[in-house]
Structure 1
């Protein structure tokens, strides 16, 4: 089956490649993730597709159980970044995603498919639109929502709540609106989470380089929040550990000679120097002054 022609790419938020990177890192064995999937010849793309691989058993998730613990054989994820809200019209988009995906993959049983939304919160307008389609969507605790939409399982993750339920969900804070107000609240991170957190922003930078500055929304917000966390992380690391990652030249960049020398006593400044080396660098006036003092 030939793939549909790709339409012109639309702008995406900086949070989309970050979420893709997060899910890819913790994706259990037996699953395949597609960052986006073209569903027909019109500009309609589902954000993230998680597919269970054929003939391979699925492994258990180490983290992000609020997402990976609710997968079906095929899962389509619609993601809204911290600056966007789920709208009633998104229900229609999800229905279109589900129907076109089933048609494209020759699926007949809607039970094989889960429609999932990941957003800062689940607004009442979105819930009412689900109900207009004879569906249901209600909170089940811990920032998770469960329901049904035209025969499809509907699962929701409200990141503002889900991120606080367990350390395994902590990195979801990066996709909440609170992250923009106080990014440092994501701390403390364990060493692996710190590595993942750094990788999220690197994914954003790579995505932006590949698609250009106009292809990404909220880049500056993501950059500022990332830097806020990075500064606080560095405060928790002993200075000698931070400096050990830099060459001597890099450590001195941006400092004047006076600023460097001010950190040492006169004796420390002269340690390791011979008398000849000291005199060679001294001005004629200083040499005369030293000679006079030595003659006394």
Structure 2
């Protein structure tokens, strides 16, 4: 009997590493985050986030209360990026993940585990599938949903609504469909959140380098949205703070060669260049014109006598 083939790993959406980075930054003390979790000895690794209580008592969350305020000792998060919808079959997957996770960790009490869904919206088809399994799932206000699935707590976060309920939830906006349609708009961020926002896309880049562009769904969409928002954020800064946040390449972008060298001495313009780089692009006549007459005369005498040049 041949071994069963390992199913190919599905492409991970670009929003997954961004959500992981966001949760890691604001994760209260005492909790541990697992961006992926191997559910058994077979290659069943799921695109799901696991939060597990590691130290008691746990610290209080400063932000993202819509998520961190509803954790159990173990929480499994099924996340859909702004280009995807929760499907009825996702209920079955979430329930299966929960059962395998409990078996793997020898959990018998369902009160220790929370199943959580984070998406732009909770669609009716997802709710109907919960009800078919004799469960319940209903909105409780502010983009939050509450229910039960086979004795397990079921919590939902609609990012499009939850992000507008409090400044502590504003960063969830970038995981909503409105973020992609808003031409780079984003809800007001405090200085710390602005720094966090800049690091989120870097996680996508790191993830892409590890697994390749073809393994990351919506990579170009995430990159474009990030650049549009970053441009608007930088436009609101005073000039002195703006320059401090730009890379050397960004500072010089759009300037003519004359503008780039304006204010520099000849020595500063050539600083760091090799002799070859200093003369690159010049014709022999232009190079000769740059040499003082007495040096040219000395070179000519040496050449006429066949002396080697230093």
Check conservation: 1:38, 1:46, Cα contact below 8 A.
Answer: no
Structure 2 length-normalised TM: 0.78
Q: CA deviation at 1:250?
A: 7.2
| Structure 1 pair 245–189 and aligned structure 2 pair: CA distance change class (3 A) | closer
Within 5 Å, give how 1:31-110 maps onto structure 2.
31-40=31-40, 41-54=42-55, 56-110=56-110
Q: CA deviation at 1:51?
A: 0.1
Q: Which residue of 1 aligns with 2:198?
A: 198
Q: Which residue of 2 aligns with 1:141?
A: 141
**Partners in 1 of 2:124 and 2:52 — Cα distance?**
30
Check conservation: 1:144, 1:162, Cα contact below 8 A.
Answer: yes
Q: CA deviation at 1:185?
A: 3.2
Work out the number of aligned pairs and report it: 260
- Residues 192-242 of structure 1: CA distance to partner in whole angstroms, max 9, x if unpaired? 000100010000000000111111000011011101110101111122332
> Which runs of 5 or more structure 1 residues have no equivalent in the other structure?
1-5, 270-296
Q: Which residue of 1 aligns with 2:117?
A: 117
Check conservation: 1:208, 1:216, Cα contact below 8 A.
Answer: yes
Q: CA deviation at 1:104?
A: 0.3
**Partners in 1 of 2:218 and 2:247 — Cα distance?**
34
Check conservation: 1:81, 1:176, Cα contact below 8 A.
Answer: yes
Q: CA deviation at 1:57?
A: 1.2
**Partners in 2 of 1:12 and 1:247 — Cα distance?**
30
Q: Which moved more, 1:41-50 or 1:240-249?
A: 240-249
Check conservation: 1:46, 1:76, Cα contact below 8 A.
Answer: no
Within 5 Å, give how 1:1-296 maps onto structure 2.
8-40=8-40, 41-54=42-55, 56-182=56-182, 184-244=184-244, 251-252=251-252, 254-257=254-257
Q: Which residue of 1 aligns with 2:295?
A: none
Check conservation: 1:75, 1:114, Cα contact below 8 A.
Answer: yes
**Partners in 2 of 1:156 and 1:246 — Cα distance?**
38
| Structure 1 pair 214–248 and aligned structure 2 pair: CA distance change class (3 A) | closer
Check conservation: 1:79, 1:117, Cα contact below 8 A.
Answer: yes
Q: CA deviation at 1:65?
A: 0.2
**Partners in 1 of 2:87 and 2:58 — Cα distance?**
33
Check conservation: 2:146, 2:156, Cα contact below 8 A.
Answer: yes
Check conservation: 2:12, 2:47, Cα contact below 8 A.
Answer: no
Q: Which moved more, 1:233-242 or 1:98-107?
A: 233-242
Check conservation: 1:66, 1:162, Cα contact below 8 A.
Answer: yes
**Partners in 1 of 2:68 and 2:183 — Cα distance?**
24
**Partners in 2 of 1:37 and 1:21 — Cα distance?**
16
> Which runs of 5 or more structure 2 residues have no equivalent in the other structure?
1-5, 265-310
Q: CA deviation at 1:8?
A: 4.8
Q: CA deviation at 1:9?
A: 3.2
1:82 aligned counterpart, secondary structure? coil
